[in-house]
């Protein structure tokens, strides 16, 4: 296997797809906040113009002032960059606008009508759980304002039928939008789960349960990146089972599979949690050792070689199981992992040529 050639491939830095999906969700909320601000700005501005044309200068002035605050917030959010707090700021602005329209009646008593837009808006901003909680509070506060006799500050006049219909529509719309968003949320959760499962399948070897080659490349890239920053030492072992074709041919493929699983377990149980054991190919394994120099890697390889050899005794069949290791230490200054893997590979082949069942680390 030519590792030098393989290493010339460029591997993309790994990003967890589930974390990516969550990031996208947050971005979607922040984006929705921007749209809500533009929407609120358009409505407030339009109502301001209508109020001005109708001669209600005070209402027009107030609406323009609110529009100016919304515009400034929009500009501010774009200059400062969106954050998790953006939906809160937008929610607060919308609430101020809403209660103003509710109390004043807006233009021709139509202010309340726009309130239905709060429903998709808040669910979009805060998700179906917190969105519903917020909207229920808004609905409750609205009912109080509308039905409390002579509520202080309520200048608009809404007839009783209008009030009752508004509360009913607001409640029904909140419930329907929450149900829709909750099913969207459930579908999304399922997608996250499936993505995590697929990711697990894509990174795990089905026979041994070890990391597969793809995952091993990702881990080497990550280890190299970390070590370039920390100038730490790390090593890699490449182990290849000896005369495995003979074992397969003599005892059958399913016995060969069992040996591979048992060897994987030996390697896994004799390495640290920080180390990574991967199935590198058919009967080849790769072990990544952070914070370990070549000497340390050699000692571990010798221990693993010994434990793998001891496996032979656990089967009723008369079988000799052994493994040959090549050890190489990473060079933090090196670009890419080609040289490191090629060196470990070459040493592993030297171990084979020197008679198998041994470790070569220099």
Ligand X SMILES: Nc1nc2c(ncn2[C@@H]2O[C@H](COP(=O)(O)OP(=O)(O)OP(=O)(O)O)[C@@H](O)[C@H]2O)c(=O)[nH]1
Residues labelled as active-site residues = 283
Instruction: Specify the DSSP element, H or E, that contains 359.
Output: strand 359-360
Backbone φ and ψ of 360, nearest 5°: -120, 120
Q: Does 282 bind ligand X (CB under 6 A)?
A: yes
Total residues at interface with ligand X (CB under 6 A): 17
Closer to ligand X by Cβ: residue 257 or 354 = 257
Q: Which of 256, 290, 297, 330 binds ligand X (CB under 6 A)?
A: 256
Contacts of residue 344, defined as CB under 8 A and 6 or more positions apart, other chains included, come to 236, 237, 238, 286, 326, 327, 328
Closest separation in Å from C-beta 248 to ligand X: 5
Stretch that binds ligand X, among 57-65, 133-141, 180-188, 243-251 (CB under 6 A): 243-251
Q: Which of 165, 201, 253, 272 binds ligand X (CB under 6 A)?
A: 253
Closest separation in Å from C-beta 277 to ligand X: 16
Using CA atoms, how far apart are residues 276 and 204, in angstroms rounded to an integer? Answer: 12
Q: Which of 243, 270, 312, 331 binds ligand X (CB under 6 A)?
A: 243
Structure tokens at 65: 């002032």
Q: Which of 244, 280, 285, 325 binds ligand X (CB under 6 A)?
A: 244
Compute the C-alpha angle 13/18/20, nearest 5°.
Answer: 55
Q: Does 215 bind ligand X (CB under 6 A)?
A: no
Q: Does 260 bind ligand X (CB under 6 A)?
A: yes
Closer to ligand X by Cβ: residue 182 or 322 = 322
Closest separation in Å from C-beta 359 to ligand X: 14
Q: Does 239 bind ligand X (CB under 6 A)?
A: no
Q: Does 248 bind ligand X (CB under 6 A)?
A: yes
Q: Does 162 bind ligand X (CB under 6 A)?
A: no
Structure tokens at 200: 């697990």
Q: Does 352 bind ligand X (CB under 6 A)?
A: yes
Contacts of residue 314, defined as CB under 8 A and 6 or more positions apart, other chains included, come to 262
CA 92 to chain centre: 29
Q: Does 356 bind ligand X (CB under 6 A)?
A: yes
Using CA atoms, how far apart are residues 84 and 288, in angstroms rounded to an integer? Answer: 38
Stretch that binds ligand X, among 46-54, 103-111, 248-256, 263-271 (CB under 6 A): 248-256
Would you give the end-to-end CA distance of the chain in angstroms?
20
At residue 82, the 3 state secondary structure works out as coil
Closer to ligand X by Cβ: residue 165 or 245 = 245
Identify each DSSP E strand in 197-302 by its residue range.
Answer: 234-241, 276-279, 284-290
Using CA atoms, how far apart are residues 62 and 101, in angstroms rounded to an integer? Answer: 10
Which 169-208 positions form the footprint of ligand X (CB under 6 A)? 207
Q: Does 241 bind ligand X (CB under 6 A)?
A: yes
Q: Which of 140, 147, 193, 257 binds ligand X (CB under 6 A)?
A: 257
Stretch that binds ligand X, among 54-62, 105-113, 173-181, 234-242 (CB under 6 A): 234-242
C-alpha count within 13 angstroms, C-beta hemisphere, residue 307: 17
Closer to ligand X by Cβ: residue 183 or 320 = 320
| Adjacency order of strands within the sheet including 323-329 | 276-279, 284-290, 234-241, 323-329, 359-360
Binding stretches for ligand X (CB under 6 A): 207, 240-246, 248, 253, 256-257, 260, 282-283, 352, 356
């Amino acid at each position: 296997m030519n590792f030098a050639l393989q290493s010339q491939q460029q591997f993309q830095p790994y990003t967890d797809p589930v974390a990516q999906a969550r990031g996208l969700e947050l971005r979607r909320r922040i984006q929705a906040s921007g749209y809500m601000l533009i929407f609120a700005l358009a409505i407030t501005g339009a109502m301001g113009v209508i109020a001005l044309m109708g001669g209600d200068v005070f209402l027009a002035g107030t609406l323009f002032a609110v529009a100016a605050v919304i515009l400034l917030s929009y500009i501010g959010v774009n200059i400062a960059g969106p954050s998790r707090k953006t939906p809160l700021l937008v929610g607060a602005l919308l609430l101020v606008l809403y209660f103003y329209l509710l109390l004043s009646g807006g233009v021709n008593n139509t202010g309340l009508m726009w309130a239905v837009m709060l429903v998709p808006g808040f669910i979009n901003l805060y998700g179906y759980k917190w969105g519903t909680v917020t909207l229920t509070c808004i609905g409750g506060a609205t009912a109080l304002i509308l039905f409390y006799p002579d509520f202080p500050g309520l200048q608009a006049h809404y007839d009783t039928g209008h009030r009752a219909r508004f509360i009913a529509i607001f409640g029904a719309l909140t419930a329907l939008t929450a149900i829709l968003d909750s099913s969207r949320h459930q579908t999304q959760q399922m997608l996250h789960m499936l993505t995590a499962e697929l990711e697990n399948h894509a990174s795990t070897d089905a026979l041994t349960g070890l990391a597969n080659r793809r995952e091993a490349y990702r881990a080497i890239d990550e280890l190299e990146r970390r070590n370039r920053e920390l100038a730490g030492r790390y090593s890699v072992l490449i182990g290849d089972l000896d005369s495995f074709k003979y074992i397969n041919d003599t005892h059958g493929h399913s016995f060969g599979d069992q040996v591979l699983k048992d060897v994987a377990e030996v390697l896994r149980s004799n390495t640290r949690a920080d180390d990574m054991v991967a199935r590198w190919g058919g009967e080849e394994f790769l072990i990544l050792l952070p914070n370990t120099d070549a000497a340390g890697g050699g000692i571990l390889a010798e221990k693993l070689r010994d434990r793998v050899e001891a496996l032979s005794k656990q089967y009723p069949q008369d079988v000799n199981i052994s493994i040959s290791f090549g050890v190489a230490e990473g060079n933090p200054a090196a670009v890419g992992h080609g040289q490191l893997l090629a060196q470990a590979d070459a040493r592993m082949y030297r171990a084979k040529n020197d008679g198998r069942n041994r470790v070569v680390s220099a």
